[in-house]
Chain A
Amino acid sequence: MDLTRKLEILADAAKYDASCASSGAARKDSRDGKGIGSTGGMGICHSYTPDGRCVSLLKVLLTNACLYDCHYCINRRSSNVQRARFTPEEVVQLTLDFYKRNYIEGLFLSSGIVRSADHTMEQVIEVARQLREVHHFRGYIHLKTIPEASQALIDKAGRYADRISINIELPSQQSLDRLAPEKNLTNTKQAMHGIRQRIDESLEAKKAARQILNRPRVKAPAFATGQSTQMIVGADDSSDALVLHRADELYREVRLRRVYYSGFSPIPEPSVLLPIKPPPLVREHRLYQADWLLRFYGFDVGELLPKEEPNLDLDLDPKLAWALRNRAVFPVDINRASQELLWRIPGLGTVNVARILAARRWSRLTLADLQRMRVNLKKVMPFIVAADHRPRIALLESTHLRQHFLPGPRQLELNFNAPPPTTPADAAMALSGQL
């Protein structure tokens, strides 16, 4: 099989993994003239595919042959997909060739499980080892690890990688038993704890080195700087509350960098055990918004998803939905309120809150000030008091407030085949369907 065909199969097999991040790596570069690459700070999206996803890393599987039978996965043993396998050298060469042309930030390597967890891990690690030790590659490496692999191998993977991850896949063992019978939640969590410990140790060691040598730049990370995971939504009947409680637990206990939520999408090799109809894409989006509120805005899962409403409102963003349930908190005076309270105002992000806090030391802020900070006034106005504004209390108490925020008629997706309507009148006609 030629390289092009292998790339086709093994990239196709990897595309259901949503994570693409290449940020948060330790700072390194190749100005010493040896090797190639750099990382540090924000990762870069080098392209976008028409599914709106960022292309940052060469994301491939080493092989798509797999012993496991995870029913949401195109590579499961029950699938009839064509199988292929890269040699480590082929992946190394592809990574370097793509990297030098500035197509990518680095490599995201994963693999179907062949023979055993340890055997598979060894193959994956070999690619990373060659990149780092033979070619002095300083770009980004993300390795997917297998929870059942031995701790020694996971340690080794972490020494070469900037990020390692284990997919939790589904939020409960019950769902795993049905859809991914070889996977085990306890093992996964244990392995994540192991990784967290190594990351912590390495951070400590770096801190100590900095204090002794007073040299802020460490050459290569002694261990990956972060771990992340992915949860599939819509393949089982778990509620958003279950999904977010699991995510929250992982953020707390093993300090994950990110949980990726991947809406189950139809695959070319459907399983009898899975729903034919995928969940609406917006569910995934709402989960990301809620996840953001947990991590950066001081919300609890219970606040976003009270017992009687275990699923997120698909029509409204979760902060707005919370505000509508907790109207007594509002209006909030933007010239006086604490940071924590400002964070809770629908339509205000952490960046704008920081701007407000800085600017209000010098003057009392008006709506025009907010507009210049590019705040969405329509959204915040019912909830805030500004120097020149008080919301109509009647509106805040009315049952119509929800109506006020519901999205208008859905925006049409841009379609290349149909030319866009030419005049605004045409456009209005097209939307209303009237002549």
Chain B
Amino acid sequence: MTITAQIQPTFEAWRSKARELLRHGVAPENVDWVDASQTASLLAEEPSCYQTTPNASVKVPADFLRLAANVCAHTDERRFDILYRLLHRLTIGGEKHLLSMPSDRDMHQCNAWARAVSRDIHKMHAFVRFRLVGLNESNGREQFVAWFEPEYRITRLAAPFFEKRFASMDWSILTPDACVSWDGEKLTFMPGMSRHDAPSADAHDDLWRTYYRSIFNPARLKVQAMQSEMPMKYWKNLPEATIIHDLIGSSEKRVCTMIATPERPVKPMPDNAYLRTLHQRRTKS
């Protein structure tokens, strides 16, 4: 018979449910995974439907747990199902070497999801932009807020990085599906918010754009290379992205001007003691 496993779409919820199912030896084809946040009515749980008595706890390699944490953060509906099948094969099924079989179908699928999620985490670490909103009068800590729109449910997975790096400031990162803030003591997670709750500009954005404009070399335009690393979906929250079009549009003219510039003659060596020693050594050797 089929068991309905209705869980909140988090790794923790999946893990505890999967552990329970596995201890009762439930086969993957008999489980119907349902995302509780996506269904309106709560389906009735069937607690007594297990046909066997529970086994002792099951052990899985740490690599699997790491993989599962990433897979659960994905949004594909089939993730819990396939992940459970993988877990079942790895343990009860006795396929111990499964994790080193990237060519296996289930592994291939889970690896692809995990890769997409870890790329999204990486991009979040890169593209979050904090904005200064104030100063905590009592302890002198600066307060920053950022708005970010990740593709997957990665706020929890991405947060520890910011904690390590920005421990001495107060900060919050708001996203549509979850928010996190740090006060110097602990990370606090809250439900998602809307972009209107976040500040839209920072006094330093202009200076940052100045830097971005100046470090760009118009003689080496490679727009595709830029876009493959910084896809346009992230642009709307990057202060520097507002000038990308102008930079691309004006680059040809800038290069033409460079090429048309008359070559500068070589100026004579100034009178400087240090320079003289360099040139003396040269003529000697």
List the interface of chain A (C-beta within 8 A of B).
3-4, 7-9, 11-12, 14-16, 29-38, 44-55, 58-59, 67, 69, 77-80, 94, 97-98, 100-103, 115-117, 148, 177, 181-182, 184, 263, 265-273, 276, 278, 281, 355, 358-359, 361-363, 365, 368-370, 372-373, 411, 413-417
Contacts and interface: CB of A to CB of B under 8 A. Distances in A.
B40 interface: no
A267 B258 contact: yes
Nearest to A368: B103
B127 A100 contact: no
B62 interface: no
Contacts of A58: 211
Contact of A117 (B169, B207, B274): B274
Contacts of B227: 414
Given A29-B165, A36-B168, A372-B103, A101 B270 contact: no
Given A102-B128, A265-B220, A47 B212 contact: yes
Nearest to B281: A184
A359 B229 contact: no
B267 A416 contact: no
A273 B129 CA distance: 44
Interface string B86-115: 000000000001001111010010000000
A103 B129 contact: yes
Q: A14, A79, A355 — which one has the most chain B CB atoms within 10 A of its CB?
A: A355
B245 A38 contact: no
A15 B216 contact: yes
B97 to A, nearest CB: 5
Interface in B200-220: 202, 204, 206-208, 210-220
A50 B275 contact: no
Contacts of A273: 266
Nearest to A182: B278
A316 B128 CA distance: 38
B10 interface: no
Contact of B207 (A7, A9, A48, A54): A7
A270 B208 CA distance: 28
Nearest 5 A/B pairs, CB to CB: A52-B225, A52-B222, A369-B103, A11-B214, A116-B274
B49 interface: no
Interface in B165-179: 165-169
Contact of B127 (A46, A263, A268): A46
Nearest to A37: B165
B119 interface: no
Interface stretch (B14-22, B24-32, B149-157, B247-255): B247-255
Given A49-B217, A51-B221, A358-B100, 20 more contacts: A8-B213, A29-B167, A30-B164, A31-B163, A33-B168, A35-B168, A49-B212, A49-B216, A50-B248, A50-B251, A51-B217, A51-B218, A52-B226, A67-B274, A67-B275, A78-B265, A94-B207, A101-B202, A103-B208, A416-B245
Nearest to B142: A100
16 contacts: A4-B207, A7-B214, A46-B127, A51-B217, A52-B224, A54-B229, A77-B267, A78-B267, A101-B144, A102-B128, A116-B274, A265-B219, A355-B103, A358-B102, A362-B101, A416-B245
Given A8-B210, A36-B168, A359 B129 contact: no
Contact of B261 (A3, A268, A414): A268
Interface in B116-173: 122, 125-132, 142, 144, 146, 161, 163-169
Given A15-B216, A355-B102, A413 B164 contact: no
Contacts of B264: 78-80, 269-272
Nearest to B161: A38
Nearest to B208: A103
